[in-house]
Structure 1
């Protein structure tokens, strides 16, 4: 059983996917974190972002675990070290977006991502989960929101951590990243043909999760809800 949740940054994919995984008792794959992990590891090992061969080796050797908690956060463990906080920074997010366009890195991570699929099920958070990684998934979600709303959410998130930022700068960063993701030649960001498209601009996380769970139940993909 696989549910894919694709969409642009700031649409709420991470929190929605975490809550779905907890509710169903399924495994979780944060595919965007894999690219961030490659970027972070490359930075630590002084591997250039245009060194496709070197980055592919890093991708093949990633030792990573995703551990969900009850506070809508996922701890990311890289080679035994918790890198969750650093992984969520705008700087590392920018590295990931640049690395994601490299075919060698994407190929190296494809098999790794598919290996996360195991019983009783998997929730996949990413940008090409339903179009490339798991094209046969029985339920594909494309979650989006307006750029203004996504920038506002990001600003609130940063401010809650005491980080200063400007709304206009965040919106520009979001639009630039959207353009890169949607216009890349390999696995561009787009809804799968059979995806259920959900606009979260005016919806709460709970409303989005309830909507997806209802659809999963309608399709016979779930037997019980363990926790919401």
Structure 2
């Protein structure tokens, strides 16, 4: 199968990460979790008592931060490591969720993480999800998806996700957190969340997980087949 870059953007709680992982698995591509990178950066700044609004702290934080991904041989799932420590569960907590949008607005942090993401995607055959993948990280991606869902659906899904990790959080609190993240992500000066002109919008409010994965896999295969046809016609 040919290799393309699939960029999936959208609002918090739309199921971007789980969908992107499943799409990558179906296609035999590599999944890159940009959200996990920002969450790991947030955890690093929280644990190091560094302020994202202090330029010296930002410089210090970036110099002492190394984010990597490794596949867990027992579960087969990709996990996030911060400076050599597995932080996969820690970065999904509400404490990190409440601060991640603030970290993501800092120009220097975004610049560093975008550069890392672009290096990871150079060889193609990748699926990456986030807020600015189609607009900034991979503006030349062969397939761009913009995922959305209504706030009630997203809040319920996020609550279930936290429950599975043993964290019980009030639904209204999650709703407020997601609404605030939407506001910050869409209005920030640096790489705001936008739907680019050539992205396909998918509203997942009434779709099952399997349906949204199948839809994107189908589109990806069409793009790959069209590229093959185009290449053979120009031989």
TM over 0.5: yes
User: SS of 1:153's equivalent?
Assistant: helix
2:76, 2:208 → 1: CA distance? 14
Deviations 1:161-185 (A, max 9, x none): 3322221121111111101111111
Match of 2:36 in 1: 33
Deviation at 1:115, TM superposition (A): 0.6
Whether the 8 Å contact between 1:18 and 1:68 is mirrored in structure 2 is no
Match for 1:163 among 167, 191, 213? Answer: 167
Whether the 8 Å contact between 1:9 and 1:150 is mirrored in structure 2 is yes
TM-score (norm 1): 0.89
Whether the 8 Å contact between 2:50 and 2:61 is mirrored in structure 1 is no
Deviation at 1:157, TM superposition (A): 2.1
Show the 5 A alignment for 1:1-228. 1-59=4-62, 62-67=65-70, 74-119=78-123, 121-220=125-224
1:72, 1:126 → 2: CA distance? 22
Whether the 8 Å contact between 1:140 and 1:195 is mirrored in structure 2 is yes
Deviations 1:39-69 (A, max 9, x none): 1111222211212343245336532222456
In structure 2, stretches of 5+ residues that fail to align are: 229-235
Deviations 1:58-104 (A, max 9, x none): 33653222245697953112222110010001211222210111112
2:11, 2:205 → 1: CA distance? 12
Match of 1:226 in 2: none
Higher alpha-carbon Rg: 2
Give the structure with the higher percent helix.
2
Alignment root-mean-square deviation, CA: 2.2
